[in-house]
Amino acid sequence: MFGLMEITAQLDEPTKLAIIPTVVLPFTILGMILTSLATWVAAFFGVELKAEGPKRLFEVLMKPKVIVLALLSNLVVYAGIKTFNYISNGPYPLWWVDIQNSSAPASEKNYSDLPPVITPSEMADSPRTLEVAWEIPLHSAVFGTPVIRGGSLFAGLDRGKVMEVDLEQRKVIRHFEIGKPVMAAPLILNNRLFVGEGIHLTHGARLYSFDLKTGKFAGAFSTTGHVERSAVSASVDGQDILLFPAGKDGLYAITSSGLKKIWQASIGHVDSYPAIDKNKVFIGTGLEEGYEETPTKAYALDLRTGKPLWEKNLPTSVWGIPVFWENVVCFSVGDIYKTPQYGQLSCYDKETGKEYFSYNTSGALISAPVILDNHLIVSDLYGKIYQFDLKNRTLDWILPVPTRGETYASVVINDQDQIIFPGAEGLYIYSRANQKLITVWKPEKTWAGTYTNVVSYKDQYIFTDQSGILRGLRFKKVAP
């Protein structure tokens, strides 16, 4: 403690005033406490200790000028930290995005072409082994399900890029840079790429547009929130529009050509996908981390104006996309912020909002449901797959898929009525009719799990794992 006094004595006045408020003062007070304790203990043994050094230093530190400087210094440090966090959580400048994408090559592909559909004749009708047809390292996690158009696969990366992979050449042919994490699946519309950016901490996030023919940056729409979910396209009076969620901003509708705002529905924090049915938009709100008691709701909005037509209270957040069956809309409900992480299937009449059917689940339903005939199939956060009979308003069965921890992928059903779902050790395929395991693919190396759904192209199942490896799997051919 006396060493501190000697050190400060050798410092000039500006340096003292700079370091005393945030460094020396706490140590001085601590030193005085320890010195007083030592003096008290020493008195029992007849030893006298001097505490003049710490006392004198403390008197210096208690001068009004030093106290004011301490407050100002701490305020500057606090403001500096807040400023740094604000800048680091904001978007990159648009000029930077423009420069980063100025050298992207052009393309002659038609990106309006949908991927070939896997037909039953091309798929296995009995248990067979899946094999890796190819794999490409993307060197970053992929959170949004990849999109296939024009023979290319587009995948958004955690490191702020959208990669374009030619599925015939099986290689990355170009990328589009935005800087901030890409959590959502890209949208391809009229040979343009639309993609959002950001996580919950991000502010001022944008929806970006790129011309896929020229490869150039084509503009952006700015929000004050984050864009963690994909944009959805719709046509209103012959005009193509985009609807996309933006966290605390709610839901936006903008023109697809000029990225001009049409309306904004400030209905709460939105991290779910909008679903469109005729002249209505269906969307669910969610909880923002740190605000777990905020009310969450299911909404039906007017597609032209964004005005609420009806709203219903929900037990917790909506993350997936609403789905339709006859005159019913169903929301998969669940949350990752609340404990326990329960879920609910909530279904309503599309016109009136009257409750049609609900079912509580033990795990959060944050995935996208699938509708097949009168059935709804959805998975929960822990790998349980549920099938509901919507006509009879009953649960048909629950299929527990082996998982490790949490899983964010949604169920995929192929043309042979088989369930495809990533689990604890790899990719699992079940019969939907009897819920029996048909086959499971296990990687040679440690399985990292996946955040994304499986997508199909020709005779291949394509997905990315959490380590950023893009794989194409297919069934081994049977020798004649």
Q: What is the pLDDT of residues 259-305, one digit of tens each?
A: 999 999 999 999 999 999 999 999 999 987 666 678 899 999 999 99
Instruction: Using the CB atoms, write b or e for 256-265: b if 16+ within 10 Å.
Output: beebeebbeb
Specify the range with the lowest mean pLDDT, choosing from 117-121, 199-203, 299-303: 117-121
Cα(281)–Cα(299) distance, integer angstroms: 8
Band of the pLDDT at 126, cuts 50, 70, 90?
low
Percent of the chain with pLDDT over 70: 81
| Entry pTM | 0.83
Band of the pLDDT at 33, cuts 50, 70, 90?
low
Cα(48)–Cα(45) distance, integer angstroms: 9
Listing from the earlier edge strand, what are the strands of the sheet with 455-457? 130-137, 469-475, 460-464, 455-457
Band of the pLDDT at 120, cuts 50, 70, 90?
very low
Give domain limits for the chain.
Answer: 2-88
Q: Where are the beta strands (DSSP E) in 152-260?
A: 152-156, 161-166, 171-177, 187-189, 192-196, 206-211, 217-222, 232-236, 239-245, 251-255
